[in-house]
Chain A
Amino acid sequence: MMRTLTEDQVEVGSLLPDLVIELSPTVIVSTALATMDFTPVHHDVEGARAQGSKDIFLNILTTMGLVERYVTDWAGPEALIRGINVKLGVPAYAGDTLTFTGTVVACEDGEFTVEVCGKVSLGDHASGTVRFALPDH
């Protein structure tokens, strides 16, 4: 199993490696359906355009899931996610690229905070923080 980081391996200022996700229509649609979100703008191109969107776009439940994955991909499977606080920005359209960057910004009483930003070509799609703890062993 992938290793989980220990507390002494993480310090304020530590950078997370970038995560780049190509937002193919398959990614947009499969994540929408896996999150049980059948709103047309997440799977129906014509429906999305009729509402003034350029194309189908990522749903919020997926954004939350990807932010969580971004942090556990780096911290390891046993990192205990305690909270995700996301400010939602521009839409992440099919055909765009979503790039996550992150920095450890705080460490208090065994709880770490990572500042995360997910950018697309239009700007910040999601920005916020993820709080997590690392196991003792």
Chain B
Amino acid sequence: MSAADGPGFHDLLLALAERQAAVGEVRGVAAADPVNLPMIRHWVAAMGDANPLYTDAEAAADSVHGEIVAPPAMVQVWNMPGVGGRDEQESSPIGDVLGTLDAGGYTGVVATNCEQTYRRYLRLGERLVPATRFTGLSGPKRTALGEGYFVTWNITWYSRDEPVAHMLFRILKFRPREQKTSPGIREPYPLRPAVNGDTAFFWEGVAKGELRIQSCADCGELRHPPGPVCPSCRSANRTHLVAGGEGELYSYVVHHNPPVPGLKAPFVVAVVELPEGVRIVGNVVDCPPEEVGIGMPLRVTYRQMDDELILPMWAPRET
């Protein structure tokens, strides 16, 4: 299913959720085993729970229960499928919703809420039947894990026809964030130039390997950085020329601190004077900072910063 096939994924998902909610409670298969002492023993030992009413028949007989009872929090265990699941076909109104989310790329899953209510304690020999109800879908929401949908369902456990416990369970199905550094894929360079109506021509030039300088279409005056109006004759008509790409270092600083994302200190930031008559700011590269000096001849060079961005920089030029 794709966005091109009519209604979007979100609408299809909501429609499915509405249908599944309308289905109501769906009974599952009965537990493979009734509530039994070996499973309780195994459970309390693993939990480190020393409550004698779960395993000690004598203590339990003297208690408020009068007999051994199962730990309430164990309610979900009785119907767990075990290794490899069980043969019986489980019918559940949740599966389609989760499957659709998977197909839509929301493959991540993390549980967020579990609320259990116990109507009474369970006794040995009771066999539980779960009944599942799809109760909620909300999203898409931005979360720390990625964009996702919260899916909520309720289970009621029955002993014969008596509901003995309830559970609300909520999970977040999310689109896992992209892995940050896969081999072969460049990390995006974190600093992006401001591209707007005044500067777009400059960056289009950079992409073609041209160093473009704005000029006034009326009086011909060059200006850099580019702007909307000629400072000399106030004309808003503008054009540009392509500079030769040579220059001289007019002024510079060597940056050591603070750290700048995407750049390794120390680096040189220079004001370069072009023979055309304007000055332009840029990094000096291919030269150790201690060898940089005012007046040094430079030539523009273009650096591919990531898959999209190219920046003009300045390298030493033989005189």
Which residues of A are interface residues toward B (Cβ below 8 A)?
Answer: 1-2, 21, 27, 30-31, 33-38, 52, 60-69, 72-73, 77-78, 80-88, 128, 135
B52 to chain A, nearest CB (A): 6
Interface residues of B in 29-75 (CB under 8 A from A): 39, 42-43, 45-53, 59, 62-64, 71-74
Which residues of B are interface residues toward A (Cβ below 8 A)?
Answer: 39, 42-43, 45-53, 59, 62-64, 71-74, 76-77, 80-84, 110-118, 121, 176
Q: Within the complex, which residue of A30, A68, A80 is in contact with B46, where a contact is CB–CB below 8 Å?
A: A30
Contact B115–A84 (Cβ < 8 Å): yes
Nearest-CB residue, chain B, relative to A34: B46
Nearest-CB residue, chain B, relative to A82: B118
Contact B77–A81 (Cβ < 8 Å): no
B149 to chain A, nearest CB (A): 17
Kindly list chain B residues whose C-beta atoms are within 8 Å of the C-beta of A35. Answer: 43, 46, 74, 76-77, 80
| Given A34-B77, A61-B80, A83-B116, 15 new contacts (CB under 8 A) | A21-B48, A30-B45, A35-B43, A35-B77, A60-B114, A64-B76, A65-B47, A68-B73, A72-B49, A77-B51, A80-B64, A81-B118, A82-B117, A87-B113, A88-B112
B17 to chain A, nearest CB (A): 22
How far apart sit A19 and B9, CA to CA, in the bound complex (Å)?
Answer: 46
Known A31-B46, A69-B47; judge A83-B115 contact (CB<8 A): yes
Contact A62–B111 (Cβ < 8 Å): no
Known A81-B118, A86-B115; judge A38-B83 contact (CB<8 A): yes
Contact B117–A73 (Cβ < 8 Å): no
Nearest-CB residue, chain B, relative to A19: B48
The 4 closest A-B pairs by CB, nearest first: A36-B80, A34-B46, A68-B73, A69-B49
Kindly list chain B residues whose C-beta atoms are within 8 Å of the C-beta of A64. Answer: 73, 76, 114, 116
Kindly list chain B residues whose C-beta atoms are within 8 Å of the C-beta of A1. Answer: 52, 59, 62-63
Contact A81–B112 (Cβ < 8 Å): no
Nearest-CB residue, chain A, relative to B48: A69
Known A36-B82, A65-B71, A82-B118; judge A72-B51 contact (CB<8 A): yes
6 CB-based A-B contacts, threshold 8 Å? A2-B52, A34-B39, A61-B80, A69-B48, A69-B49, A77-B52
A39 to chain B, nearest CB (A): 10
Contact A83–B48 (Cβ < 8 Å): no
Nearest-CB residue, chain B, relative to A136: B64
Nearest-CB residue, chain B, relative to A85: B115
Q: Within the complex, which residue of A65, A72, A135 is in contact with B74, where a contact is CB–CB below 8 Å?
A: A65
Nearest-CB residue, chain A, relative to B121: A80
Kindly list chain B residues whose C-beta atoms are within 8 Å of the C-beta of A128. Answer: 115
Nearest-CB residue, chain B, relative to A32: B46
How far apart sit A31 and B42, CA to CA, in the bound complex (Å)?
Answer: 9
How far apart sit A85 and B117, CA to CA, in the bound complex (Å)?
Answer: 8
Nearest-CB residue, chain A, relative to B42: A34
Contact B47–A66 (Cβ < 8 Å): yes
Kindly list chain A residues whose C-beta atoms are within 8 Å of the C-beta of B72. Answer: 68, 81, 84
How far apart sit A35 and B118, CA to CA, in the bound complex (Å)?
Answer: 18
Nearest-CB residue, chain B, relative to A126: B114
Contact B49–A65 (Cβ < 8 Å): yes
How far apart sit A127 and B176, CA to CA, in the bound complex (Å)?
Answer: 25
